[in-house]
Structure 1
Amino acid sequence: MSEDFMLDTDDLERRMLGAIASLRTEFSSLRTGRGSASMLEPVMVDAYGSMTPINQVGTVNVPEPRMVTINVWDKALVGKVEKAIRESGLGINPQLNGTIIMLPIPELNEERRTELTKVAGGYAENARVSIRNIRRDGMDQIKKAKADGMSEDDQKIWESEVQDLTNKQIKAIDDQLEAKQAEIMQV
């Protein structure tokens, strides 16, 4: 029976890559002093009786590095979009120009940059914890197979494979964190 044990490393890797994709999404929402359409992704607008992402009520553009514009399709929603941005905690003061909402991106001061690098570090640590939890699931499967009669050599081989996969994904997280922190600290 133990000879038939096959750990689904593809499933473990897929789950780990999912944690890294989630980290990328969290990183993209961090403001770095440059405008990007992705910084508005978490902002939801109360439109037509339901919470709707901004990109579904208007066109988001980045005409220049320090400016994001939203061309709201329905004039009745302009005030709601402006209110949603003000209350989002992005720290951006929207300016109205008809149905176009302009978001000038202010320079980040040193204190705010340091604060954002800490937030990025927290996001990365959460991703590392997710990776470690997935690793633990894999190790638990191996231990169960060992209890069912798997040889100790096979156990060591599988554990080594899971650990190598984990190390590779943790390194990817560390590399992304380093890049994001450098981007935030860039003046």
Structure 2
Amino acid sequence: MPQYDKTDVERRMKGAVESLKSDLSGLRTGRANVTLLDPVVVEVYGSNMPLNQVATVSAPEPRMLTVQVWDRSNITPVEKAIRSAGLGLNPITDGQTLRLPIPDLTEERRRELAKLAGQYAEKAKIAIRNVRRDANDGLKTDENKKEISEDERKRLETEVQKMTDEMIKAVDDAATHKEKEIMSQ
């Protein structure tokens, strides 16, 4: 059984890019976006649950999010979770709805968020390079077991490198786009 599996390598590399895009969507840009509250976890019913499992999040205005809490008894825990999430948001309670005005970002905060986007991108690149290393190790193992020739190994390593370059470019593009979005709002 060969160690190298092109579809698995591609799936893992794409997974790193998708994970980055998910992380970047949680970075605030000064405009209301429902994905902003995705990382918020609320302690309700004796366990920790994602906010979207106890409330509906919507963006009725460009600079306002609303959180419609389904169970009245969960309003205080939801409010507390949003305040302590480190997003710089202060909920205003209005019955079973929490209003979250999105404040303007300061220049300093924009730079911090842009730097954070860069750190997320670097983690994704490291993950992609680790997948490349695993794939190349698998190819060497296959060659040592005489399952593939040296020429075949070299050809496949070139293919893996090409895939790696494409994924790194996708990471750079996503990070650059997010940094521009953060700095231009």
Same fold (TM over 0.5): yes
Q: What one-letter code is carried by the residue in structure 2 that aligns with 1:159?
A: E
1:52 paired residue number: 49
Given that residues 3 and 142 in structure 2 are in contact (C-alpha distance below 8 angstroms), is that contact kept between their aligned partners in structure 1? no
Instruction: State which of 85, 88, 93 in structure 2 corresponds to 1:96.
Output: 93
CA distances 1:18-62 after superposition (whole Å, capped 9, x unpaired): 111111111111111011111111111111111111111111110
Q: What one-letter code is carried by the residue in structure 1 that aligns with 2:65?
A: V
User: How is 1:37-76 mapped onto 2 (pairs within 5 angstroms)?
Assistant: 37-76=34-73
Q: What one-letter code is carried by the residue in structure 1 that aligns with 2:177?
A: A
Residue 180 of structure 1, CA deviation: 0.6
Given that residues 114 and 182 in structure 2 are in contact (C-alpha distance below 8 angstroms), is that contact kept between their aligned partners in structure 1? yes
Partners of 1:58 and 1:142 in 2: CA distance? 49
CA distances 1:78-114 after superposition (whole Å, capped 9, x unpaired): 1111001111111111111111100000011111111
Instruction: State which of 157, 160, 166 in structure 1 corresponds to 2:158.
Output: 160
Q: Which runs of 4+ in 1 moved over 6 A?
A: none
Partners of 1:52 and 1:11 in 2: CA distance? 31
Residue 152 of structure 1, CA deviation: 2.4
Partners of 2:123 and 2:25 in 1: CA distance? 16
Alignment of 1:169 with 2:167, yes or no, is: yes
User: How is 1:172-187 mapped onto 2 (pairs within 5 angstroms)?
Assistant: 172-187=170-185
2:116 paired residue number: 119
Partners of 1:174 and 1:47 in 2: CA distance? 39
User: Could you say what secondary structure the match of 2:89 adopts?
Assistant: coil
Given that residues 3 and 138 in structure 2 are in contact (C-alpha distance below 8 angstroms), is that contact kept between their aligned partners in structure 1? no
Partners of 1:146 and 1:156 in 2: CA distance? 10
Residue 6 of structure 1, CA deviation: 7.7
- TM-score scaled to structure 1, two decimals? 0.94
Partners of 2:141 and 2:5 in 1: CA distance? 14
Residue 151 of structure 1, CA deviation: 2.8
User: Could you say what secondary structure the match of 2:113 adopts?
Assistant: helix
Percent of aligned pairs with the same amino acid: 51
Q: How many residues align?
A: 184
Root-mean-square deviation over aligned CA pairs: 1.3
Q: What one-letter code is carried by the residue in structure 1 that aligns with 2:180?
A: A
Partners of 2:94 and 2:149 in 1: CA distance? 71
Alpha carbons of structure 1 residues 93 and 5: separation in structure 2 relative to 1, 3 Å:
closer
User: How is 1:11-22 mapped onto 2 (pairs within 5 angstroms)?
Assistant: 11-22=8-19
| Structure 1 segments unaligned to the other structure (5+ residues) | none
